[in-house]
Chain A
Amino acid sequence: MGSYFTRHLQVCVASLGKIREAPLAALLTILVIAITLALPTGLHIMIKNALKVTGGWTDAIDFSLYLEDGVSEADARELAVLLESRADIASVTVVPADQALADFAALSGFGDALDELDDNPLPHTLVVRPLATLDGAASDILKQEMAGLPETDVVELDTEWVGRFQSMLKLVRRALWLTAALLALALLVVIGNTIRLDIQNRRDEIEIMQLIGASDGFIRRPFLYTGFWYGLGGGLVALALVGAGLLTLAGPVTELAGQYQSNWSLQGLDAREMGAVVATGLILGLGGSWFATARHMRRIMPK
């Protein structure tokens, strides 16, 4: 048993040496694998972060009451006082149109463009915070009653768009899995093809091995290990690419989060996810070379 493992180790190291003999070709293959792995991984990180950042928002149950255009600020304040007296409402904050515009200009960065506007397109808004104890049904009734007020244009539960956004993210994530599956298939083909070329280049060697009594398994082993190294290299380089991408984005993300008065920062891959990326590379590397050797070695017969 000991010698069995020693032999495997020898072939394993020897195949690494073979790769070193043609470093450029191997590097290109590894890079292709790495990029193909890094793309879905990067997308996964984006979706994960988007879900995380919006996850905290579902707790905010404020209503936004957008008032009709004709409603003056004084009327808005009067309505606010009226609403605040209701038993099911905790507080009402008035956001005058001017202030909404100023906030928007400051946060969106469209300040200069907004200066060009002749008049403020935004209505006055009331931010209504219901009692925390309010359940879903009571919350719906409150929403309908506020929508029925003559001054009201639109009532929106602030969490609604969060829910929609998260559904969209989940849809994108599903699409991501499909894309990842297709990319995995592409990788199998790429690795299989590389190994196929390798087999063709070493055809004479394989024939000689067959003539002196090497089993198919023995001949196959170095090719499988080559696939293993490609997969491992591709997985590790993919992690490096993702890491570099995160570093590049970290600055702007912190800046963006700062503008939303948040100290939230971009979250990378945890150990389990990193392991999954490398394992995927390994499985595809071994799988691709397994298919290639199974398909192409059978055709080689000594002459």
Chain B
Amino acid sequence: MIRFDNVSKRYPGGQEALKNLTLQIDRGELVFVTGHSGAGKSTLLRLIGLIETPTRGQLLVDNRSTRGIRKRGIPAYRRDLGMVFQDHKLLFDRTVFDNVALPLVISGLRHKEIGKRVRAALDQVDLLRKENQRPETLSSGEQQRVGIARAIVGRPKILIADEPTGNLDPELSLGIMQLFDRFREIGVTLLIATHDLALVEQFGHRHIVLNNGELEFDSVSMRDTRALFDH
């Protein structure tokens, strides 16, 4: 579903955020990305979101090279992608309902269909009762769930989340991760950058570690290696 082929990213300042990264993520996988600050986690996700372009190498998303997507094609590409941000990126002058509805409004769906799908998404994050409130009246965990509802309302095949539990207490974090796990179960491919190693261990999904822009650890290849030795 997502493939990095020798991808490098160098920022204008000269800092090399990703070095020769090769990584394959299959459909329906949930992958945790960890690593210290500046290891390249955010860059990895930003490349998938087309917020950045690779300096070298090739990135394939859904069997399509991102190099072939022109500037005009970026909005349509992003509409097929769910993105969750650490700072939620909600619009504070609109209700929860309107925030979640925005991707569908952009896609030009009919009013009735929008209402149905927004309520379904809000139901999944357990915020149906707060649809008419404004984001600032919600707790941080609730705001994050609004952000997640907005990311999934367009039924994306891929969902990327950059530190989605960065500001939340352990209990809320667990709730959010369980939510992501449910999306995995219905076939969504998820890539989640996080600091929370305890949480990662708890779920036992694929786990990759970046260090200085290089892939330091990948639980899948380790498993393969172990499987090799087990025989």
Contact = CB atoms under 8 A, between A and B. Distances in A.
Q: Do A and B bind each other?
A: yes
A213 B91 contact: no
Contacts of B105: 7
Contacts of B90: 208
B75 A215 contact: yes
Contacts of B83: 211-212
A212 B108 contact: no
Contacts of A208: 89-91
Nearest to A205: B91
Contact of A211 (B89, B93, B107): B89
B51 A212 contact: no
Contacts of A3: 108, 110-111
Contacts of A211: 49, 51, 78, 83, 85, 89
Interface residues of B, number: 26
B181 to A, nearest CB: 23
B91 A212 contact: no
Interface string B47-74: 0010100000000000000000000100
Interface in B134-170: 150, 154
Nearest to A11: B105
Contact of A213 (B78, B93, B111): B78
B110 A212 contact: no
Interface string A194-231: 00000000000101111111111010000000000000
B108 A210 contact: no
Nearest to A212: B103
B106 A218 contact: yes
A261 interface: no
Contacts of A248: none
Contacts of B91: 205, 208
Contacts of A4: 108
B111 A212 contact: no
Contacts of B150: 212
A210 B154 CA distance: 15
B111 A210 contact: no
Interface of A is mostly: helix
B133 to A, nearest CB: 18
Nearest to B79: A213
Contact of A6 (B81, B85, B111): B111
Nearest to A3: B110
A302 B108 contact: no
Nearest to A303: B51
A4 B75 CA distance: 18
B174 interface: no
A214 B154 CA distance: 13
A216 to B, nearest CB: 8
Nearest to B77: A213
Contacts of A218: 75, 106
B89 A214 contact: no
B51 A214 contact: no
Most buried by B among A4, A207, A210, A213: A213
Contacts of B103: 212-213
A213 B75 CA distance: 4
B108 A214 contact: no
Contacts of A205: 91, 93
Contact of B106 (A207, A212, A303): A212
B32 to A, nearest CB: 22
B102 interface: yes
B199 interface: no
Interface string B27-57: 0000000000000000000000101000000
B76 interface: yes
A302 B76 contact: no
B108 A213 contact: no
Residue of A4, A205, A214 ringed by the most chain B CB atoms within 10 A? A214
6 contacts: A3-B108, A211-B49, A212-B150, A213-B77, A213-B78, A215-B72
Interface of B: 49, 51, 72, 75-81, 83, 85, 89-91, 93, 102-103, 105-108, 110-111, 150, 154
9 tightest CB-CB pairs across the interface, nearest first?
A213-B79, A213-B78, A215-B75, A213-B75, A208-B89, A214-B106, A212-B103, A302-B51, A3-B110
Given A212-B83, A216-B75, 19 more contacts: A3-B111, A7-B105, A7-B108, A205-B93, A207-B89, A208-B89, A208-B90, A208-B91, A209-B102, A211-B83, A212-B79, A212-B102, A213-B75, A213-B76, A213-B77, A213-B81, A213-B154, A301-B51, A303-B51
